[in-house]
Amino acid sequence: MPRLRSLFASAGAGVLLCFAATSVDACRQALVLGLDVSLSVNRFDFALQRNGLADALTDEAVMQALLAGPEQPVTLAVFEWSGQFNQTLLVDWTVIDSPATLQEIALVLREAPQGLRSGRTGLGAAMVYARDLLRQRPDCAVWTVDISGDGVNNNGVDPSRVRALMQAEDIGVNALVIEQPLVTPEPGTPSLSTYFAANVIVGPQAFAEVIHDFESYGAAIRRKLLRELEPVVGQAPRKTPRRLAQLP
């Protein structure tokens, strides 16, 4: 059964590169899913998000994609985030090796208690937290972050700085943007989807899925997972050491 725990990661400024030696990759993809649970997400939308992800992970097509290539499996972690000091790990790194494992993860997502939340939006801190989780899986050929959000960063490290770090480490960052129609940007400010495109998503195949309400979350995360998993089926092992970037 996946373990439940809470962790905290913080960052400063600047980017330095070093190299981490890797062995032959034991998994084809390490996938981190980050769910926005800031106070702008009410309890109904919170349930839609949790249950939507649980439904997507147990969808037949998604299960087939996750379980393809069992000799080089996908490993998955899920966390929730809000302010810069608020990240809750719901599912620790779990090798996806059977439909039963996905059913266990879905049960955790549906039943785990809601962690402490903030009214602030620490998007950059959430990205750093996801990066630190990925560093626990240097054996994986591909590192991918899948992060949802319904607002711009207003707490902690700037996402654009973390985006540069992610790019340096060959981490792909995709986003599920909840651009609610009743939230109008201030004059002269970009839309939420434009903000995520400029400051969050990164990588050769990076993309953002945009929805306008949490009722659409389940279908969107299903589409998103299928798109994220397709390019890495049969992924060849990494032949060069993975670069690790520091924010000292």
pTM of the complete model: 0.84
pLDDT at 245: 61
β-bridge mates for residue 146, sequence order: 33, 174
142-168 per-position pLDDT tens digit: 999 999 998 999 999 999 999 999 999
Residue entry with tokens 């998994």: 27
Average pLDDT over residues 15-22: 38
Percent of the chain at pLDDT exceeding 70: 80
pLDDT at 93 over 50: yes
Superfamily for domain range 5-11+25-235: von Willebrand factor, type A domain (3.40.50.410)
Sign of torsion over alpha carbons 127, 129, 135, 137: negative
Band (6; pLDDT cuts 50, 70, 90)? very low
94-116 per-position pLDDT tens digit: 999 999 999 999 999 999 987 77
The residue ranges of every structural domain in the chain are 5-11+25-235
β-pairing, 5-6 vs 16-20, is unpaired
Instruction: Please classify residue 207 by burial: count the beta carbons closer than 10 Å to its beta carbon, then call 0-12 exposed, 13-18 middle and 19+ buried.
Output: middle
